[in-house]
């Protein structure tokens, strides 16, 4: 049994946008499962955190939602990336890559990041 970590603060929006970019329209449960799967089941997505994040991303215009029917024939809200969301994803990715590069300098002093 492995201990799962909660998603780090500030990373959920990036993971949601990246998931929508790679998967296309998908419902909230599918987003959560995909994030957990992509992490190698090292992360646990809390629905009490995910759904408010989806609402916020939609209010900010980064994602768009519409009702549909899931694979198990249930009504579900499907989310997709908007044009503004694609731009935000690019910017967010650059910001995190820079932060990771800076942090790696502290974790591995004397080594230049790859």
Percent over 90 (pLDDT), the chain: 79
Helix crossing, 28-38 with 47-59: angle to 10°?
110
Top-confidence residue, 59 or 10:
59
Q: Is the dihedral of CA 20, 26, 27, 31 positive or negative?
A: negative
Tell me what percent of the chain is helix, strand and coil, each rounded to the nearest 5.
55, 20, 30
- Residues 68-76, mean pLDDT to the nearest whole number: 92
d(Cα 88, Cα 93) in Å, to the nearest integer? 8
pLDDT at position 112: 61
pTM above 0.95, yes or no: no
Say which residues have a Cβ less than 8 Å from residue 52's Cβ, sequence separation at least 6: none
Residue 56 has pLDDT above 60, yes or no: yes
pLDDT at position 114: 56
- Residues 32-47, mean pLDDT to the nearest whole number: 93
- Residues 90-98, mean pLDDT to the nearest whole number: 94
Average pLDDT for the chain: 91
d(Cα 26, Cα 77) in Å, to the nearest integer? 8
Closest CA to 68 of 96, 34, 28, 32: 28
Domains (range + CATH), the chain: 5-107 (1.10.10.10)
pLDDT at position 1: 43
Residue 2 has pLDDT above 70, yes or no: no
Residue 106 exposure: Cα atoms within 13 Å on the Cβ side:
4
Query: Residue 55's Cα: distance from chain center in Å?
Result: 13
């Amino acid at each position: 049994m492995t201990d799962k970590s909660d998603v780090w603060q500030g990373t959920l929006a990036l993971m949601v946008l990246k998931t929508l970019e790679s998967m296309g329209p998908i419902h909230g449960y599918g987003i959560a499962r995909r994030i957990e799967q992509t992490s190698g089941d090292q992360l646990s997505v809390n629905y009490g955190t995910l759904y408010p994040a989806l609402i916020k991303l939609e209010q900010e215009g980064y994602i768009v939602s519409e009702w549909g029917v899931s694979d198990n024939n249930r009504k579900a809200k499907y989310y997709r990336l908007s044009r503004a969301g694609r731009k935000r994803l690019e910017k967010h990715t650059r910001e995190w890559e820079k932060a990771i590069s800076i942090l790696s300098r502290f974790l591995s002093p004397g080594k230049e990041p790859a």
